[in-house]
Amino acid sequence: MNRSGQLNFALIGCGAIALQNHFPGLALCPETRLLAVCDTDPARLEAARRCTGATVASTRFEDVVTRDDVHAVIIATPNVTHAPVALTAIQHGKHVLCEKPLAMNAGEAWSMARAAEQAGVRHMTAFTYRFVPAMRYLVHRVRQGDLGQPYHFRACRLQDWGTRPLGWRQRRDLAGTGELGDMLSHRLDFGHLLMGPVRRLTAHWRRWHEFRGNQPNELDEWVGVLGDFANGATGVWESSKLATGRNDSWRSPDTVELNGSHATFLYETREWNRLWIGRPGGQQLECLEVPREFWTWPGSPRDPAQGDPLVTFRYDQIWEFVQAIREQRPCAVTFHDGARVQQVMDAIVRSAETHQWVDLPAWNHTS
């Protein structure tokens, strides 16, 4: 932050998510400025420079994250670059908001979390769906004990991506995993948020299309996980890119159901301002409107009546990041949260490859 309180940002990677989420979110935050943009693709870089009005543009992240007049960095590049960009930015004292999955494996992710803590900078993993009003209200209801003894956690994400090319998302060296890191990582975070740490799991994954767009498709298109949480609840996760006819955007099905001794709660991302509740002995679920105070993140200047609420809730993420920097406190979602999910992802990979149950290290579910 400079002496007048202005925060200058650099955006590394100017693709879909950078321009859809991060840039408009930042534009809502007073006394912030997108100073610099970086993309290895010169055409995308130029388009981003024009559309954002950033005065610095470079194809090399090192030129941007080392600048004295950059205070915070948003990383929205393919997964393999998250750790090197973040570590360089942290080394130069920058606050970092990094896209999910945080890294290529848990070792890398924990090293990012450690480096950020040691440098005393703010760090945030972009688990964007934590900012859905209905998810925030669900967390609130669970934390106040309305679920009772937790029995089951169930998350299902279905999309129809057909056979289209996925670019870097179909390459192991750039993405690490397919559907697992792309979509299931958010739902693993939901599990942590609502139930706490995972104790053990078994997983299966599948790939149907060996090629997409005439290039090898190396990664999972579907993943399923069965597990136990340390709190005693069971967990079931499923995520697919091949749910034909189920839509290919955020309007596709994305549900979480919790069953406990006092209640069932059903969450659906598309229904951003309502939940469904089942009560003991009830015959069907009842609708629960999300109270207005949950419609935006605390303090956010966003007007939930403006724009598509399924898009605009995402802007609260950068608001939280900026507030954490200004208030010198940890972000609501940190690199530690990203690393915990990465630890579970590593276990899923091991289980899917060996067809064995995998225990998570005790520190993962006792810390």
Ligand X SMILES: NC(=O)c1ccc[n+]([C@@H]2O[C@H](COP(=O)([O-])OP(=O)(O)OC[C@H]3O[C@@H](n4cnc5c(N)ncnc54)[C@H](O)[C@@H]3O)[C@@H](O)[C@H]2O)c1
The smaller minimum CB distance to ligand X, of residues 13 and 133, is found at: 13
Phi-psi region of 217 (alpha: psi -120 to 50; beta: other; left: phi over 0): beta
CA torsion sign, 138 to 143 to 148 to 154?
Answer: positive
Instruction: Specify the residue, 15 or 304, whose C-beta has the smaller distance to ligand X.
Output: 15
Which token pair is 58? 């470079």
Could you tell me the smallest distance in angstroms from the CB atom of residue 160 to ligand X?
A: 17
- Smallest distance from ligand X to CB 126, Å: 4
Give dist(CA 282, CA 119) in Å, integer.
Answer: 53
CB of 232 to ligand X, least distance (A): 30
Nearer to ligand X, 61 or 229 (CB): 61
Output the residue with the shortest Cβ distance to ligand X: 15
CB of 107 to ligand X, least distance (A): 18
Q: How far is the CB of 229 from ligand X (least distance, A)?
A: 23
Q: How crowded is residue 58: how many other Cβ atoms within 10 Å of its Cβ?
A: 19
**269: burial class by Cβ within 10 Å (0-12, 13-18, 19+)?**
buried
Minimum distance from residue 362 beta carbon to ligand X (Å): 29
The DSSP code sequence of 226-264 is EEEETTS-EEEEEEESB-TTS-SSTTS-EEEEEEESS-E
* Residue 138 beta carbon to ligand X: minimum distance, rounded to whole angstroms: 18
> 238 - beta bridge partners?
156, 224
Nearer to ligand X, 103 or 142 (CB): 103
How far apart CA 176 and CA 361 sit, in angstroms, is 22
Q: Give yes or no for a cis peptide into 291 (omega within 30° of 0).
A: no
Contact residues for ligand X, defined by CB under 6 A: 12-18, 38-41, 44, 61, 76-79, 81, 99-100, 126, 128, 167-168, 182
What the block records as the tokens of 26 is: 């930042």
User: Judged by CB, which is closer to ligand X: 152, or 192?
Assistant: 192
Torsions phi, psi of 20, nearest 5?
-80, -40
Closest CB 100 distance from ligand X, rounded Å: 5
Q: How many whole angstroms separate alpha carbon 41 and alpha carbon 37?
A: 12
Residue (189 or 228) nearer to ligand X, CB: 189
- Minimum CB distance to ligand X smaller for 17 or for 226: 17
Q: Give me the least distance between CB of 263 and ligand X, in Å please.
A: 28
Give all strands (DSSP E) within the chain, no chain letters: 7-12, 32-38, 56-58, 72-75, 95-98, 123-125, 150-158, 198-206, 211-212, 215-216, 222-229, 234-240, 254-260, 264-268, 274-278, 286-289, 358-359
For the chain, the farthest-separated pair of C-alpha atoms sits apart, in whole angstroms, at 62
Residue 216 or 361: which CB sits closer to ligand X?
Answer: 216
Which residue, 40 or 255, has its beta carbon nearer to ligand X?
40
Tokens of 35: 């100073």
Compare residues 64 and 147 and give the one whose CB is closer to ligand X: 64
In angstroms, rounded to a whole number, what is the distance separating the alpha carbons of residues 305 and 13? 30
CB of 67 to ligand X, least distance (A): 15
